[in-house]
Amino acid sequence: MSVIVLCAGGHARVVIEALLSRGIRPAAVIDRDAARVGEAIGGVPIRGSDDNVMKTAVDTVELANGLGNRASRTNSGLSGRRALFGRFAAMGYKFPVIAHAAAVIASDVQLGDGAQVMAGAVIQPAARIGQNVLVNTRAVVEHDCVVGDHAHVAPGAVLCGGVSIGESVHIGAGAVVLVGVKVGAGAVVAAGAVVTRDVAAGGFAGNE
């Protein structure tokens, strides 16, 4: 079954590389910017917009979410990525788990549809990773952690044992969330922060 990558930005390059590491070459990338049709990203051609995907039968193609996010103090920036996943999933399209060959994932880890685990990331035993979650480059998710749907654990971030992360949470690059801490849905943890106590839904932890 062929794979199409949604969106032709920087994150799409990382997704393509993860797929290639598993011997999977995407058939195409699609992007809303019609001016980019005919270009290539990561050696994969950009072939059109969302409409091109919807002309393809749901049982003949799988999709990979190539949309990244930019968080701010008040917004995780994950609504677009979540909406893109939800739109196509509602139409019956499937999003496979994508795990780079250089990621380390314990044998009993649960990975939701469309979860992405990038190069150098480590996910330890009994962790549960939700749908459309991004565990980015060299991030660490320790034992017994729960990561809610559509969350992003950014490059180099560390979730210590038993951490609970709500839906659409952004954990910034290099942040550390200590053992047993709970981070509520939609919250933002700043890059480099050390989180020692629970963070309320929609809240912020860090100095930036």
- Whether 150 is catalytic: no
Write down the architecture of domain 2-67 according to CATH.
3-Layer(aba) Sandwich (3.40)
Q: Which residues contact 86 (CB under 8 A, 6 or more apart)?
A: none
Q: Out of 39-53, 126-140, 182-196, which region has the weakest mean confidence (pLDDT)? A: 39-53
Q: Out of 43-57, 153-167, 186-200, which region has the weakest mean confidence (pLDDT)? A: 43-57
Active-site residue, from 11, 100, 143, 150: 143
pLDDT averaged over the chain?
A: 95
Q: What are the φ and ψ backbone dihedral angles of 154, each rounded to 5 degrees?
A: -75, 170
Is the separation of the CB atoms in 74 and 186 below 8 Å?
no
pLDDT for 207: 76
Query: What are the boundaries of each domain within the chain?
Result: 2-67, 97-208
What integer is the mean pLDDT of 25-49?
90
Counting other chains too, the contacts that 84-93 makes at CB distance below 8 Å and 24 or more residues apart are 84/6, 84/7, 85/114, 85/131, 85/132, 85/150, 88/6, 88/53, 88/63, 89/113, 89/114, 91/54, 91/58, 92/58, 93/53, 93/58, 93/61, 93/62, 93/63
pLDDT digits (tens, 9 = 90+) for 59-110: 899 999 999 999 999 999 999 999 999 999 999 999 999 999 999 999 999 9
CATH T-level topology, domain 97-208: UDP N-Acetylglucosamine Acyltransferase; domain 1 (2.160.10)
CB atoms within 10 A of CB 148: 21
pLDDT for 28: 93
Residue 174's pLDDT band, with cuts at 50, 70 and 90, is: very high
